[in-house]
Copies of this chain bind each other. A is one copy, B any other.
Amino acid sequence: MIFTGDELLRGDIVNSNQAYLGERLLEVGLFATHALTVADNLGSIVEAIKAALAREPDVLLISGGLGPTEDDLTREAVAQALGVALEHRRELLQQITARFTFLSMNMPPSNRKQAALPVGAAALPFTGTAPGFWIEAGTTLIAALPGVSRELRTMWEEELAPIVRSRLSIQTGNEGAGVIVRRLRVTGIGEGTLADALKDLPWREQGVKFGTRAGLSGITVILRGGPAKKARAGVLYLESRVREILGDKVFGVDEADLAEALGQVLRQHRLTVATAESCTGGLVAKRLTDIPGSSDYFVGGVVSYSNRLKTALLGVSETLLATHGAVSEPVARAMAVGAVSRLGADCAIATTGIAGPNGGSPQKPVGLVYVATSVESEIEVARFTMFRDRDEIRERTAQTGLDLLRRRLLKRRPVDT
């Protein structure tokens, strides 16, 4: 893999594309041996491509350098490394122009260069404004992808992966090659506790490796076996054991999002939800509405940042606020009550807390959070001490709110369909 971009070398950006592509390659049975980040310098990129090709890899992925600026040199570098010319592709220019037209924008002249590809290359359809391409050099498939993560991912999944898969099975006759990887998405448990809970399972005996990756939207438990049949069975066996241990803390697989998992449960129960947010400031509603189709179950929400609006929009009594303070169990409860009655929903998630960095006190320190959930007028309030900075406290609070409601609903019998 070659990544171009001064910004990756200067540390302006962490190169998450490398990990993404490394994982995707593994899924198709390829193990990345080298990943080089190189400056936006034509000579350096050409040299890097030549050095990579000298190792005769099955696949050489190049990411970045496909934009319209002078620093975008990948097209030219591939052509030079292979000793072929760049040729202007009329149909590609039409596609690029069409995107600008679609966006009601004038195409700057600099974007014309994106329609030039090395002779022999095939364009990869694009979702942004940067077309990718692929070309064969000896036994190596070279593919150029955008540096923008989102565009790179779409192009890999929708365009390049099928090409790589078909090319590998032709070459090696090894259909269905690839290690088996299962990823379980988990929340509501710490990474250390989770590792301890799983460490005594028969990983070694089953030829399966496991790892975890933690983020603010949950932990991913990764189970990985080799391509052999035995390893496949081992992965599936261990997945079932992990699921037994973690129970409803597992909310999905692969890239599953907790808000989507909650949405599925709400649909199953034919229930709607509203939000009443203070410290999360709209983040719970944002998470819910990240999911396409969420208008089926999400009616709306209130961000009652000021006490005045807690009263005006949610009916939280001024006495309650004065007696207990905005960050308290009774106020969280009253917010959930107000969300259900004022917004007209079956369920509610309400948050109030001190996200910091200021506003804490010995009695109510930064990180103190109350999360209330309401399921058909039954309200539960949980108290947490969240840690780290403002962003993390808010993200963890939103995640917790979504999860508490999901787990409460899982305990109910779904509506028959």
Contacts and interface: CB of A to CB of B under 8 A. Distances in A.
17 contacts: A8-B19, A11-B18, A11-B20, A11-B24, A12-B211, A67-B191, A71-B211, A110-B196, A129-B192, A150-B388, A282-B284, A282-B288, A290-B391, A294-B305, A301-B302, A301-B303, A302-B303
B18 A22 contact: no
A382 interface: no
Contacts of A13: 19, 213
A69 interface: yes
Given A222-B12, A295-B306, A302-B313, A44 B33 contact: yes
Interface in A256-308: 275, 277, 280-286, 288-290, 292-295, 298-306, 308
Nearest to A284: B282
Residue picked from A14, A111, A280, A356, most chain B C-beta under 10 Å: A14
B289 A281 contact: yes
Interface string A348-375: 0000000011100000000000000000
Interface residues of A, number: 107
Nearest to A288: B281
A7 B192 contact: no
Given A290-B391, A295-B305, A211 B6 contact: yes
Number of chain copies forming the complex: 2
**Which of A19, A103, A295: most chain B CB closer than 10 A?**
A19
Among A21, A102, A108, chain B packs the most CB atoms within 10 A around the CB of A108
A235 to B, nearest CB: 15
Interface in A219-249: 220, 222
For the residues of A in contact with B, the DSSP-based class is: mixed
A282 B295 contact: no
Contacts of A68: 192, 195
Given A15-B15, A300-B302, 16 more contacts: A7-B213, A8-B18, A8-B19, A9-B18, A9-B35, A13-B19, A14-B18, A14-B19, A31-B39, A32-B39, A109-B196, A277-B282, A286-B286, A289-B394, A292-B390, A303-B303
A378 to B, nearest CB: 23
A391 B298 CA distance: 17
Interface in A81-138: 102-105, 107-111, 127-129
Contacts of A305: 285, 289, 294-295, 298-301
A32 to B, nearest CB: 4
A172 B11 CA distance: 24
| From A13, A41, A281, A285, residue with most partner B Cβ within 10 Å | A281
A190 interface: yes
Interface in A319-374: 342-344, 356-358
Contacts of A292: 356-358, 390
